[in-house]
Amino acid sequence: MIMNVTIHDIWKARKRTSQIVKKTPFLYSSVLSDVTGASVYLKLENFHETGAFKLRGAANKILSLTVDEQKRGVTTFSTGNHGLAVAYVAKQLGIRAVICISNRVPKAKVERIRRLGAEIEVFGHGQDDAEKRCYQLQEEQGLTVIKPFDDPYVIAGQGTIGLELLEDLPDLDMVVAGLSGGGLISGLGLALKSTHPGIQVIGVSMEHGAVMYESLKAGKPVILDEQETLADSLLGGIGLDNQYTFRMVQQYMDQAILVSEEEIAEGMAYIFENHRMAVEGAAAVGVAALLRKKIGKPNGNIAVVISGCNVDISAHLNAVQKYISH
């Protein structure tokens, strides 16, 4: 049964997850403010125990399961950060977790998942392949699938970021965040526009393999081949049978923007140089869009979601060096 996600669900998610999810820092960026002429703030989701915002949605979904469902265990398919979040929550609750990933997931993320005690199954060359294996496990072993984005509890969990933004900056005018499967933009858009409909919600994807972006252009979910990208956390399909995030992104997102690999590298290097934080490519797309002035004429108060920091050191160094060489 398809249910509507409401602002009430987001408030319930905040209460439900309060013992696992802690409020993340909100940092004023004087350098980005100078560049843009607006007041720019960074929402530091990289400060979670798991290093990414995905903890919010995973915690809300798993904590909503019945005791019997939790005892049977959970499984998920992930490009890394959601799998890490599911593994972390499962460890906190003492339940079994099987994380299905493709062979594209960076080694740093795989090792962190393994250290949390989760079982890992590597299957195929993309997230769609890992998803197939995930549902096989559900059939074979009775595990509950924790979807990465297209689930009302996951969306509501990600929406708690919006509640924190409004607490810290009630006069928020715009939020900029990564766009992939749409769970983050859906939750943010619902939380923010339910309170202040005029807040602009901007989604940013990489140029190659931006499935939600291309689906919105086509007016329906489409399938794309995954390609190598610094923003690997934004890879993966949205599902041809997408029930929630496609229509919610259509409803709540005001603009979608694409950034190149060079621009993503610039964003990563800029955050490291100016804020001394090593973040993954997906976390730098919003900053990249601002630096390259792809958001028209931003003004007022802008929040950029820095979504995570689970990046291979070699990938980060290469990005920084690429930026310096230019």
Q: Rounded CA gap, 81 and 145, in Å?
A: 16
Are 323 and 265 in contact, with CB atoms under 8 Å apart?
A: yes
Q: What is the pLDDT of residue 204?
A: 98
Q: What is the DSSP string of 85-150?
A: HHHHHHHHHT--EEEEE-TTS-HHHHHHHHHTT-EEEE-SSSHHHHHHHHHHHHHHH-PEE--SSS
Contact 163, 170 (CB under 8 A): no
Local structure of residue 308 (DSSP, 8 states): B
pLDDT in tens, 48-90: 999 999 999 999 999 999 999 999 999 999 868 999 999 999 9
pLDDT band of residue 125 (cuts 50, 70, 90) is confident
Beta strand pairing call for 97-101 and 174-178: unpaired
The mean pLDDT value for 288-294 works out to 96
Q: How confident is the model over 91-101, as pLDDT tens digits?
A: 999 999 999 98
Contacts of 210 (CB under 8 A, 6+ apart): 179, 224, 234, 258
Res 228: pLDDT: 86
* pLDDT band, very low/low/confident/very high, at 227 (cuts 50, 70, 90): confident
| The amino acid at 318 | N
Q: Using only C-alpha atoms, what is the Rg of the chain? A: 18
pLDDT at 138: 96
Residues 78 and 131: beta-carbon distance below 8 Å: no
> Is pLDDT above 70 for 325?
no
Give mean pLDDT, residues 30-52: 97
pLDDT digits (tens, 9 = 90+) for 138-179: 999 999 999 999 999 999 999 999 999 999 999 999 999 999
